[in-house]
Structure 1
Amino acid sequence: MSTEFTVAELWAAGLLHTDGDARISPRAVFVPADEQGALRPITIRAGAVIEAFAVVHGGTTVGGHARVEAHVVLGKPELGYAVGRTYPGAGADTAIGDGAVLRTGVVVYAGVILGAGVLVGHHTVLRSAVSIGASSQIGHHLTVERAVRIGKEVRCSPGSHITSSTVIADRVFLGSGVRTINDKTLTWRDPDRNPVLVPPRFEAGAKVGTGCVVLGGITVGAAATVGAGSLITRDIPAGALAYGHPARVHGQVTT
């Protein structure tokens, strides 16, 4: 159902709202209709840059002085089956905050909200309804699943997987290659039951080292630190220093 437009065609159709000093490559592609045929306008604010071969779907707003590099996909509707639900390809409002930077190859699904100054690294995927607070940095080659909530000034290092509905509070640091789990029963496509997903939670200022695995339902408390390579099978109290396989508390974080 989707039809691709050039910037000139989108403008002629009245579906592009842009400030005069936005820079949009003539080789950028715009898809205002979702898979159900619903048309949504696209808005690009002053000073924003849209590079060649970026694909921007209907309902997307790109904030002032934001940069969308080559081959980025913005506002893509979800289509098909995933974990107990079939997605019909419906579009949704997608917002890229002022001064945000999306590096080459980023894929942003419909309904994502990025705050001001967010940086998203090369080839990272942000699934539907993810929200990321201002000044957070999301490294390259991450997968951030549906409805994840990430706060302000968060650092997620490269190569990690953030499972659906995980909550990452302000100023959390996650090292590279962190794996999170939200399914304790390994149910994926059982016709007799839907999976019960219980995501982990990282409270404000928590730090989790490279290569950690975080099981479903775990809370890593505020300002806690977990050493690299740990398997986190139980809650980590606020301010605790923990490490190991499984991770155990070995003291308190000192400043």
Structure 2
Amino acid sequence: MIASSGLPREMTAAELDEAGLLRAEQGAQISPFAVFVPADALGLLRVVTVLSGAVIGPFAVVHGGVSVAEQARIEEHAVVGKPELGYAVGRTYPGAGADTTIAAGAVVRSGAVVYADVHIGVNTVVGHHTLLRTGVRVGAETVLGHHLTVERASRIGREVRCSPGSHITSSTHIADRVFLGAGVRTINDKTLTWRDPARNPVLQPPRFETGAKVGSGSTVLAGVIIGAQALVGAGSLVTRDIPAGALAYGSPARVHGQVPA
């Protein structure tokens, strides 16, 4: 990292290269209409790396510290590497940049917003207008549908499917091969604490263990664990842990048997 020295805030790829802040391999495709913002709110500059076969589309906004691996794509109007700035959940973010990785073959669809310090795995797809907040990690071969929100520090494994319109609350753990239907809501706060000077919120995110499946329109409350290979029916309100391999549904959700082998 180096301090900003009067460079313009937004730059083209050619300007970024001239400033020594672009490492682009032969075969990388960068639109002349892509926008680069190498300096964060603290004035620190970070290099952008684009490897062979990677594509950055027109009007994409790429911040300093982003690495785009071989054959990865950032489509038009996506924002990648955006530093977090402002108050959220008991903490104020100063707008500091960080390393952000788009692994080989991954795709960030048009309109998606990926914050700084996010790592997206090999061949993973981030859908149109999906939001990934600071510190999110996503494994390989995962599909995140469009209009999805994944809040800070959540962990999503390999070969996961998150369907459109769902909300993954902060620090949620989603293990490998989990399937979440459309419009699933997760909750991590039992007290709804907001801007209380006397206390910080105590967050209890839910967990989804390997191979768990949750049907569309379900809500999973704070601290709940959905066990490995469990199946939760659509429209359920999950207020307590669901054991591994169980079939559960209803409001509140109750176990009604085992998932067929």
TM range (shorter): over 0.9
- Counterpart residue number, 2:254: 248
- Counterpart residue number, 1:39: 45
- Counterpart residue number, 2:58: 52
- Give the partner amino acid of 1:174: L
Which structure 2 residues correspond to residues 10-89 of structure 1 after superposition, within 5 A? 10-89=16-95
Question: What are the superposed Cα offsets for residues 50-78 of structure 1, whole Å, 9 maximum, x if unpaired?
Answer: 00000000000001101111000000000
* 1:115 counterpart = 2:121: yes
- Extract structure 1 runs of 4+ deviating beyond 3 A: none
* 1:214 counterpart = 2:215: no
- Counterpart residue number, 1:199: 205
- Give the partner amino acid of 2:80: L
Normalised by the length of structure 2, the TM-score is: 0.97
Cα deviation for residue 192 of structure 1 reads 1.2
1:195 and 1:235 map into 2 onto residues whose CA distance is 22
Which structure 2 residues correspond to residues 152-163 of structure 1 after superposition, within 5 A? 152-163=158-169
Partner secondary structure for residue 44 of structure 2: coil
Partner secondary structure for residue 211 of structure 1: coil
* 1:187 counterpart = 2:193: yes
* 1:7 counterpart = 2:6: no
Cα deviation for residue 114 of structure 1 reads 0.5
1:225 and 1:143 map into 2 onto residues whose CA distance is 22
- Counterpart residue number, 1:133: 139
* 1:223 counterpart = 2:239: no
- Give the partner amino acid of 1:54: A
- Counterpart residue number, 2:176: 170
1:51 and 1:92 map into 2 onto residues whose CA distance is 22
- Give the partner amino acid of 2:194: W
1:131 and 1:225 map into 2 onto residues whose CA distance is 24
Partner secondary structure for residue 10 of structure 1: helix
Question: What are the superposed Cα offsets for residues 7-66 of structure 1, whole Å, 9 maximum, x if unpaired?
Answer: 000000010001111110000000111000011000001100100000000000001101
Partner secondary structure for residue 108 of structure 1: strand
2:110 and 2:95 map into 1 onto residues whose CA distance is 24
1:248 and 1:227 map into 2 onto residues whose CA distance is 10
1:91 and 1:56 map into 2 onto residues whose CA distance is 12
Question: What are the superposed Cα offsets for residues 75-96 of structure 1, whole Å, 9 maximum, x if unpaired?
Answer: 0000000010000000000000
Cα deviation for residue 188 of structure 1 reads 1.2
**Percent of residue pairs identical:** 71
Q: How many residues align?
A: 255
1:42 and 1:7 map into 2 onto residues whose CA distance is 10
Cα deviation for residue 251 of structure 1 reads 0.2
- Give the partner amino acid of 1:52: P
Q: Which runs of 5+ in 2 are unaligned?
A: none
Cα deviation for residue 109 of structure 1 reads 0.2
